[in-house]
Amino acid sequence: MTSSASPQTASGAAAVHKLPLDGIRVVELSHMVMGPTCGMILGDLGAEVIKVEPPRGDGTRRLLGTGAGFFRTFNRNKKSIALDLESEAGLDALRKLVDTADVFVENFKPGRMASLGLDYETLKKRNPKLIYVSHKGFLNGPYEHRLALDEVVQMMAGLAYMTGPVGRPLRAGSSVNDIMGGMFGAIGVLAALHERHASGRGKEVQSALFENCVLLSAQHMQQFAATGVAAAPMPERISAWAVYDVFTLANGEQMFIAATGDGQWRALCAILNRPDLLADPRLATNNDRVVARTWLLQTLGETLAHLEGTKLAPLFERDHIPFASITRPEELFNDRHLIESGGLAPLTLDDGTETVMPLLPISIDGERLQPRQPIAKTGEHTADVLRELGYSDTQIQALTHGGHAPQEAA
User: Tens digits of per-residue pLDDT, 176-185?
Assistant: 999 999 999 9
Tell whether pTM > 0.95. Answer: no
Residue environment code for 217-227, b if the CB has 16+ CB neighbours within 10 A, otherwise e: beebeeeeeee
Edge-to-edge, what's the strand order for the sheet holding 323-325? 243-248, 254-259, 323-325
CB-CB contact of 48 with 349 (8 Å): no
CB-CB contact of 181 with 37 (8 Å): yes
Residue 237 pLDDT: 79
Residue environment code for 341-366, b if the CB has 16+ CB neighbours within 10 A, otherwise e: eebbbebbbbeeeebebebeeeeeee
**pLDDT above 70: percentage of residues in the chain:** 94
* N-to-C CA span, the chain: 18
Phi, psi of 176, rounded to the nearest 5 degrees = -60, -40
The residue-averaged pLDDT of 122-142 equals: 97
Whether the per-residue pLDDT at 3 is higher than 90: the answer is no
Whether the per-residue pLDDT at 162 is higher than 60: the answer is yes
Residue environment code for 135-155, b if the CB has 16+ CB neighbours within 10 A, otherwise e: bbbbeeeeeeeeebebbbbbe
CA distance 326 to 324: 6
Q: Which CATH number fits domain 25-216+343-400: 2.40.50.100, 3.40.50.300, 3.40.190.10, 3.40.50.10540?
A: 3.40.50.10540
Give the domain ranges of the chain: 25-216+343-400, 239-330
Of 6 and 269, more confident: 269
Burial of 311 (0-12, 13-18, 19+ CB in 10 A): exposed
Residue 269 pLDDT: 98
Residue at 394: amino acid letter: T
213 to each of 160, 163, 398, how far by Cα in Å?
Answer: 10, 13, 45
Residue 85 pLDDT: 95
Task: List, as own/partner pairs, every contact residues 315-318 make where C-beta atoms lie below 8 angstroms and the sequence separation is at least 24, other chains included.
Answer: 315/271, 316/257, 316/271
Measured torsion, CA atoms of residues 89, 95, 96, 98, in degrees rounded to the nearest 10: 150
- CB under 8 Å to 255, separation ≥6 — which residues? 246, 247, 249, 304, 309, 312, 323, 324, 325, 326
pLDDT tens readout for residues 70-119? 999 999 999 999 999 999 999 999 999 999 999 999 999 999 999 999 99
pLDDT tens readout for residues 280-332? 999 999 999 999 999 999 999 999 999 999 999 999 999 999 999 999 999 99
Residue 400 pLDDT: 84
The residue-averaged pLDDT of 182-203 equals: 98
Identical fold for domains 25-216+343-400 and 239-330, yes or no, is no
Whether the per-residue pLDDT at 369 is higher than 90: the answer is yes
Residue environment code for 74-94, b if the CB has 16+ CB neighbours within 10 A, otherwise e: bbbbbbbbbbbbebebbbbbb
CA distance 410 to 406: 12
CB-CB contact of 77 with 387 (8 Å): no
Q: Does domain 239-330 have CATH number 1.10.3470.10?
A: no
CB-CB contact of 15 with 370 (8 Å): yes
| Residues involved in catalysis | 178
pLDDT tens readout for residues 218-246? 999 999 999 999 999 988 877 889 999 99
CB-CB contact of 243 with 258 (8 Å): yes
The residue-averaged pLDDT of 265-280 equals: 97
Measured torsion, CA atoms of residues 246, 249, 255, 256, in degrees rounded to the nearest 10: -40
- pLDDT averaged over every residue in the chain: 93
The residue-averaged pLDDT of 157-170 equals: 95
Measured torsion, CA atoms of residues 356, 362, 367, 372, in degrees rounded to the nearest 10: -50
